């Protein structure tokens, strides 16, 4: 369908986004990047293009590029909770806990039932040595997604670390 549209209008950003999504789901990340780069050239102010680029860069383990893409997406549109969540998770990885907390709180303001954002927020709080806040975020993530074993794991590690530290 997207290919038909692109034959008629090769500058159709929506069709390019759809085609990139197909490539991404097939694991053809380089092709997805090429298509999204074309879409970005056509409309550099399209937040979805930048957000999708962030996901593709993550899949390609290009974290610096992913951070930049998610930042650009959230600058263009402040209502993309998935981009904000991934940006927050990347900030946790780079130990920028304050930026992570800010990004994840923005994601949760948009989508209060976002279990993954609560998990990442817990990780950010833990990294920032805000242990009670971390515990609260992990517990909220567990309430929202009881099957998420990584939440229970992180909560257990938090309790063990606090026990060993005498907190």
89-147 pLDDT per residue, tens = 999 999 999 999 999 999 999 999 999 999 999 999 999 999 999 999 999 999 999 99
pLDDT score of 75 more than 90: yes
Question: Which backbone phi and psi does 141 adopt, to 5 degrees?
Answer: -60, -40
pTM of the model: 0.86
Nearest residue to 62 (alpha-carbon basis) of 32, 21, 101: 32
**How sure is the predictor about 2, in pLDDT bands with cuts at 50, 70 and 90?**
low
pLDDT score for 164: 74
Three-class DSSP category at 47: helix
Proportion of the chain above pLDDT 90, given as a percent: 86
What does the DSSP 8-state code read for residue 166? T
């Amino acid at each position: 369908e997207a290919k038909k549209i692109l034959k008629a209008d090769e500058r159709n950003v929506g069709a390019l986004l759809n085609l990139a999504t197909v490539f991404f789901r097939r694991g053809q990340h380089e092709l997805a990047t090429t298509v999204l780069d074309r879409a970005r050239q056509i409309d550099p102010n399209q937040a979805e293009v930048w957000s999708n680029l962030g996901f593709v860069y993550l899949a390609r383990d290009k974290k610096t590029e992913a951070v930049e893409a998610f930042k650009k997406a959230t600058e263009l549109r402040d209502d993309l909770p998935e981009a904000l969540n991934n940006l927050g998770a990347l900030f946790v990885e780079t130990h920028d806990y304050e930026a992570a907390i800010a990004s994840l709180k923005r994601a949760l303001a948009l989508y209060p039932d976002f279990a993954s954002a609560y998990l990442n927020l817990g990780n950010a709080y833990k990294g920032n040595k805000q242990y009670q806040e971390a515990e609260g975020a992990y517990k909220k993530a567990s309430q929202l997604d009881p099957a998420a074993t990584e939440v229970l794991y992180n909560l257990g590690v938090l309790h063990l670390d606090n026990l060993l530290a005498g907190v």
